[in-house]
Structure formats: C-alpha cells, structure tokens
Amino acid sequence: MNRWVPLRSLVSMGWLYPLAEVSQSSAADSGELAWRLAHLSRAGYPVCPTWVISTSAFEQQVQRAIAREPLWGEWPQLLWQSSPQSGHRFSQARPIQRLRQSLGSPNLDWSTSAPIADLAVGNAPTVLRLTPSLWLGEGVATLGLTQVLGEEYCWGDHQALSLAVKRLWAKGVGGRSWAYWRHGVPPSQLHFAVVVQAIAPTQVSGTLTCKGDDVTLQMVLGLPKGFNETIPDRYEGPLDRITAAAWRQGQQEQIYQPMAPPQGQDYFYSVDTTETALQRIKPDAWQPLGTWARATAAADPQPFHWHWQLPEGQSAPHITQAWAWPFTPPQTHPLRPTAGEQWQWVGRPASPGRVVAPAVVISAHQSQPAPVDYQIVVTTQIAPDWLPALKNAVAIVCEEGGLACHGAILARELGIPAVVGIPGITEQIQSGDQLRLDGDRGTLERIKAVAPLDSDPPSPEVRVPTHWDTGRTQLWVNLTQPESASSAAAWPVAGVGLLRSEWLIQPCLQQRHPYHWLAQGDGAILQTHLMDQLRPILAAFAPRPVRYRSLDLRSHELTTLIGGPAPETNPTLGVRGTFSYQQYPDLFQLELNALRALQQEGFTNVQLLLPFVRTVEEFRYCQTQVAATRLNTVTGFQLWIMAEVPSVLFLLPDYVKAGVQGIAIGSNDLTQLLLGVDRDQAIFSTTFDERHAAVQAAIAHLLQQAQSLELPTSICGMAPVRHPEIIPALIQNGITGISVDQPALAATAAAIAQAEAQLSH
C-alpha cells in the first residue's frame, strides 16, 4: 500500500512554492532558513533563486507512518534510556527504523510539469542543493541541527529530487539528530521544510558571521565545497573596518564547480590552483557584504550567519543561506541597502527610546541655537550652554562623541533617545527632513512620509519598585536637572551619587560665563540662582545624601558665553578641576557659599565631591576653603574626591590622611588618561573602553586600597551600564556604591543583586 502523497501533488496542495510566496507571518510553515531568506529578499537583498517544500509535506508523511505503525508508546522510553553516547543505538531501535524506512520510501512521483523545473540553469543538467529549513520554536536557533543533518545534492530531474528529499527527511529521525529529540522535540513536533537551490558556476563563495560590532568573513574560490580542503581567506574585526588590507590570506589548492553533464554521483569537478580568492577577486566582489551586514545589524540586533556566493558573470554576490540566534522573527524589515543617496546611518546608541520627528541641524559654528520645538537635534557636538535651548528636543544626534559625551549625558537626563558617533551627518541631513531614530540600536533613518510619534511600538511602562535587595552594594542615581528630581527620588536609591554642576548651572547663566558674572559684581545674584536650582533636588531626596560635584569648567565648552577664557590648546589637560579653584577662587567660593546657605535653610543632606583632583596639595587647598565656610560643621557632611586622574592610584593613602572621606571613580576620564585616548572621538570609543585590562587593573587597585583604608567608594561613570559584566569584579573588590543615570537604575539593580548572590555562594 502506498503511504505517500505523490510529490507532484505538493504543488496543487500548496506545499511547494517559490521563495517569494513564503509567508511573512509564519516561520513554522517554511522553517527558519526559508523564512529568513524571504525576509532578506523582501528587504531588497539579492538572494539566489530558491524554492521551498513546506513543513506540511514532512508532517503528513510522519503522521501517515505513525498511523500505520504506532510508535509513540515506545518513544519516551527510547529517549530516556539512551545515553548521550548512544545515538547509534537509538537510530537502530525498531520504531525508529520503521519511521526512517517509511520516510525513505522510493515510490514518489514528480510531475514533469511541476514548476520546480524553473530551477534549471539553461538546458544543461543542473545540480540542486537541498538544505533543511527547520523550526524548533520561538527563540530556538536551528543552525546547529541544520549542520548536523547536512545537505543533500542531486541532479535537476524529478526522480533524483524525490530521492534526495526523502534522504534528507530520513536524516531527521536518525541517530545524528538524537540529541535534539532528547530535549523534547519528537518528529511529530518537528517542522521540517526543505530549501531547494540550483548551484551555478561560481567565482567565489564564503560565509559571514556578525555579532554586534564584530564580523567574521571567509571566502574561497569556487563553491563552498572548497572550505573542507583549504584555509579560507579570512577577515575578523569591527564591522566598519572591512578593507582588503585587513584580510588574512589563506591557502587553496582546488577549485570546485558543479558537474555537467551527470557522471554517476559526482556532482562537482575540481581544478588545481595556486591562487586564493583575495589574489584573484577584486574587492568590489565582496565589499557589498559590509553594507548589507551593517544595515541588517542596525535593524535586527540578533547575531546572524550567512552563506554567500558570487556566480560567474555577475558583479555582486548573493545570499544562499541565512540564520540568526536566538531565532525570533523580527516585526520590521531590515533596512534596504541602496545606491545613490544615503538614507540610513548607524552610530552608537547613547540613550534608549525611539522617535519619529523632523530634524533641526545646528552648525558647529553656531554660537547659540534657537529654542528647539519637538525636533530631533542633529549637530556636531552638544555644548553644555545649549541646555536651555534643548529642553523641548525629542532626540539628539551627534557626529562626534562617545557614550559619555555631553550630548549623551544630556539625552539620558532629559529622558530622550540619542545616537552619537555618525561622522558627517550634519552635511547629509537638512533641517525639516523627517527622521526615524532608534536610541536602543543606534540607527538613524531618513523617511519620506510623515509618521506619528507613536508609530513605533511604545516602550514598556517603567514600574518603580519600593525597595531593592542589592546586598551591601548601594545603588545611587546621577542627576543634572531639578526637573528630574521628583521622578529620580521615587526610586529606592541611596541618594544622588553625582550631581553634575556644569549642567545644573546652565539655566542660570543667561548667555554669560560664570567668570563674567563675578567680574561684573553679580556673584550674589548667580549664587541665588544656583541655590534655586539645588533646592528642589535636596528637598526631593532628603534625608538621603546629594553629592554635589563642584564645577569642572573646560575652556572649550562654554565659548559661546560672554566673558569666558580663551580656549586652550588641550583643554582636557588644561586649567580645570580643583587646580582652577586656585586660579579663580571667587567661583569656588560662590559654590561653597551656596551650599552653606542651603545647609542653614535645613538641607543638611548636601555633600561635596571635588572633580579632577591631581595632587594632595589641591585637595588641601579645597579642604581649607570648606572649613572656612563651616560646611564641615554639619553632621552628615562629607568631602569626597573624584578618582579619575591616574595619580590617585599612588596617592590614595595620602589623600585619606589629608581628610578625604570617600572616592567616586570617574571611569570616563580615568580610561582616557590611562590609555591616552580622547573619549569624545567616536573612533576611539569603539576600541578603548573601561573593559581594557589596564583600566580594570587600576579600578581593582583603587578599590582594594580603599577597602584596606576603610574608605567608602563609588563609581559614577557609564561603565557599569555599558558593561554590566564588570559589576561582579567591582563588588568582589569591595566597592560600596554604584551610581548610574535614572534610565539604567532597574537593570543595574538586577545586575548588582545577581552579582551579590553569585559571590555569596
């Protein structure tokens, strides 16, 4: 009795169809490989001609076999009595043999009119490649099982194709796939589609694997069969640095091409070679892969793996296979690679959120921008004195800067999305252009149609917990503006670990530099304005401490204000931090007077954090001024320093002897000074960060010293947010507090709790 549905009927039953007909909403019907290829094809990527035999064909054959000879009663016993080393024993079990024989039955028939004949290349016999296209459930990657099952090849005639399909199906219940069934996926639940592709003569072929900003490219001359017998040419590195010079040349002796005409089962022929793909193929052949990968990584952050080929007579490669892990079908198409005018860019995600709005381009030479009204600010770099004009911005885009630049800090404080590090963007965008910005993925897209602000899925509602169990490690919040005080104070944080005074004072300045206020005799007025900014923050957090970091004015940041100093050649290493207090003592005294006046109003929760302290002598000078103002006479007042200049690594015991009561590690400045890089240049921010061994060793040394000196410690840069994997080391080395921006509080609390739990075991 024939238990099979003839394969010619697959067409009429809708089980055999071209890639273009793969459903966008159902990955289970076509499997991950076919679904992802169709997804890429719809988005404009070149995908080789592909047909799909749907999962329904396999499922019906399995069900027919089971209905005739039931084996589910024996299935659980087979699974659980087999050890991980007994795949062969499993495959030889009688129920499995029956199923395999049924799936491999030869009595299939293809109609000569079946549209699968469209796969033929010209009039010559065509070699077909059959690849499993599996679906194991949401979030489950199928690349591993696909590689276990392997591929089948056949000639492009109906009988040969029928046999190849059955051989591939039979592998699905063989010993090689036993480990997957042991994890609870029996054949009745396996969605097993088949991707069918014709193999054309090929100039070069290869693979592309992309994980975040890192990519691995491999290629050989001819068909991928050459990978088994050669050392492929290889590139490993950042996604945006794929150049011919960065490749590592391999070694190749054979080039494989499809056989024609048929000679037995030899589907390929080979020719000798002493060249490699890099030596023979121009960079134009593989360079489009970098563009496609960047667009795909920007639209869908899942790691992905592609196979690609450059057919003879073509100038650009096409994609033959594609996977991602974990496999979750994205709800949007990848951004289409286009020629001509660029309309999609990838930078660094600096502040989360998504928004669609018109752009306003602010020139780097513009002294002071006009107030922004619900627009996306596109500029070279945000200056601190722009804050009053940007209060109503809906997003920020910067050409320069890393995740700790002023634009990124301001965006996180205002709770708006931001993308930084897109060189030349101000020359490519015009004011009025409609933009879609994704601060989670770091993408910016120019769109033609006006879309409402809520066109993207809304962000999940943030639920403020009443308490956190973070063990001995306290969680603090960074702050810059009084408008954020109430919402930040609602979180169960220990207090404000960093109050950035440079941003706090901006709304008070009225286009005048603080030095100009003092020079014109208006210091008392400026002090009153500063107190008005500070008062609601202290009130919102009382009695929890608020660590006010005194002004660290770099000469190049307030150049648009009246009466400021001339920009220095190297302002990062210039007159700044506590050294500047000796050069401009009146401004530091104004800050101290403001803090003292607030203490006398009853706000005894204010503390002082000194920035960019280079020497113990600088600290002693500040300490003398603090004592003269009588700030230190109030119970609860503490005088801390930022640990961000490398000299602190050697001077910490001396600082403690001089009276330092705590250190807050400024990972941003510490990183750039230790490694000799400018944190505001995006090119450095992708390579040098706080995870560098030198930076981690310095932080560990500071924390261990502080622990032996019984000195409280904190870290208030972006390091724990960008790289939560460093939190266990911070806690193990004795850090007592971590301070982050408000949007990162929940995630950081969870990371601290997890690290505390792991270290307690």
Of 48, 398, 622, 716, which one is the catalytic site residue?
A: 716
> What is the pLDDT averaged over residues 601-610?
96
Distance CA(480)–CA(280), nearest Å, equals 57
Whole-number average pLDDT of the chain: 79
pLDDT at position 177: 60
pLDDT at position 401: 73
**552 in a domain, yes or no?**
yes
Most confident of 9-23, 46-60, 99-113: 46-60
* Residue 131 CA, distance from chain mean position: 30
Whether residue 124 is found in the same domain as residue 19: yes
Per-residue pLDDT of 614-657, as tens digits, reads: 999 999 999 999 999 999 999 999 999 999 999 999 999 999 99
- pLDDT grade, residue 685 (50/70/90)? low
Of 455, 484, 514, the residue that ends a domain is 455
Per-residue pLDDT of 524-577, as tens digits, reads: 999 999 999 999 999 999 999 999 999 999 887 777 788 888 888 888 898 999
> What is the pLDDT averaged over residues 382-395?
79
Whether residue 361 is found in the same domain as residue 494: no
Distance CA(130)–CA(16), nearest Å, equals 13
Asked whether the predicted pLDDT for residue 33 surpasses 50, the reply is yes
**15 in a domain, yes or no?**
yes
Asked whether the predicted pLDDT for residue 313 surpasses 80, the reply is yes
Distance CA(47)–CA(57), nearest Å, equals 24
Whether residue 383 is found in the same domain as residue 252: no
Distance CA(705)–CA(733), nearest Å, equals 9
pLDDT at position 542: 94
pLDDT at position 552: 93
What is the sign, positive or negative, of the torsion defined by CA atoms of 407, 413, 416, 419?
positive
Distance CA(490)–CA(162), nearest Å, equals 66
> What is the pLDDT averaged over residues 406-429?
82
Per-residue pLDDT of 123-140, as tens digits, reads: 445 788 999 988 876 666
**338 in a domain, yes or no?**
no
Tell the burial category of 692 from Cβ atoms under 10 Å away from its Cβ (0-12, 13-18, 19+): middle
Distance CA(403)–CA(351), nearest Å, equals 8
- E strand map for 441-560: 443-447, 474-479, 496-500, 546-549
Distance CA(262)–CA(255), nearest Å, equals 19
> What is the pLDDT averaged over residues 491-510?
91
Of 455, 490, 515, the residue that ends a domain is 455
**143 in a domain, yes or no?**
yes
Whether residue 143 is found in the same domain as residue 110: yes
185-189, 317-321, 671-675: segment of lowest average pLDDT: 185-189
Rg value, the chain, Cα: 32
> What is the pLDDT averaged over residues 447-469?
50
**117 in a domain, yes or no?**
yes
Helix (H) or strand (E) holding 698: helix 693-708
Residue 170: CA count within 13 A, CB half-sphere = 18
- 280's CB contacts (< 8 A; 6+ apart) are 204, 221
Whether residue 553 is found in the same domain as residue 611: yes
pLDDT at position 472: 85
In terms of Cα–Cα distance, which of 691, 760, 712 is closest to 470? 760
Per-residue pLDDT of 280-303, as tens digits, reads: 888 877 888 888 888 887 777 778
Distance CA(400)–CA(68), nearest Å, equals 69
Whether residue 94 is found in the same domain as residue 108: yes
Whether residue 509 is found in the same domain as residue 375: no
Asked whether the predicted pLDDT for residue 73 surpasses 70, the reply is no
Whether residue 194 is found in the same domain as residue 220: no
- pLDDT grade, residue 122 (50/70/90)? very low
Most confident of 256-265, 420-429, 576-585: 576-585
Asked whether the predicted pLDDT for residue 666 surpasses 70, the reply is yes
pLDDT at position 670: 92
pLDDT at position 365: 60
Tokens of 52: 């799909």
- Say how many Å lie between the first and final Cα of the chain, rounded: 63
Of 144, 171, 198, the residue that ends a domain is 198
Give the count of domains, the chain: 4
The verdict on whether 210 is a catalytic residue reads no
- E strand map for 519-624: 546-549, 606-610
Asked whether the predicted pLDDT for residue 660 surpasses 50, the reply is yes
Asked whether the predicted pLDDT for residue 233 surpasses 50, the reply is yes
The CATH number that applies at residue 167 is: 3.30.1490.20
> What is the pLDDT averaged over residues 244-249?
84
**719 in a domain, yes or no?**
yes
Whether residue 20 is found in the same domain as residue 165: yes
258-272, 452-466, 683-697: segment of lowest average pLDDT: 452-466
Q: pTM for this structure?
A: 0.53
The CATH number that applies at residue 518 is: 3.20.20.60
- 644's CB contacts (< 8 A; 6+ apart) are 611, 612, 665, 666, 667, 668, 669, 670, 673
Whether residue 318 is found in the same domain as residue 429: no
**467 in a domain, yes or no?**
no
Asked whether the predicted pLDDT for residue 726 surpasses 70, the reply is yes
The CATH number that applies at residue 260 is: 3.30.470.20
151-165, 339-353, 478-492, 634-648: segment of lowest average pLDDT: 339-353
**683 in a domain, yes or no?**
yes
**Dihedrals φ, ψ of 725, to 5°?**
-65, -15
Whether residue 546 is found in the same domain as residue 663: yes
Strand-pair partners of 643: 665
Structural domain including 53 reads 9-198
The verdict on whether 556 is a catalytic residue reads no
Tell the burial category of 315 from Cβ atoms under 10 Å away from its Cβ (0-12, 13-18, 19+): exposed
Whether residue 702 is found in the same domain as residue 574: yes
Per-residue pLDDT of 136-175, as tens digits, reads: 766 666 777 777 778 888 877 767 777 788 788 877 766 5
Of 406, 508, 513, 622, which one is the catalytic site residue?
A: 406
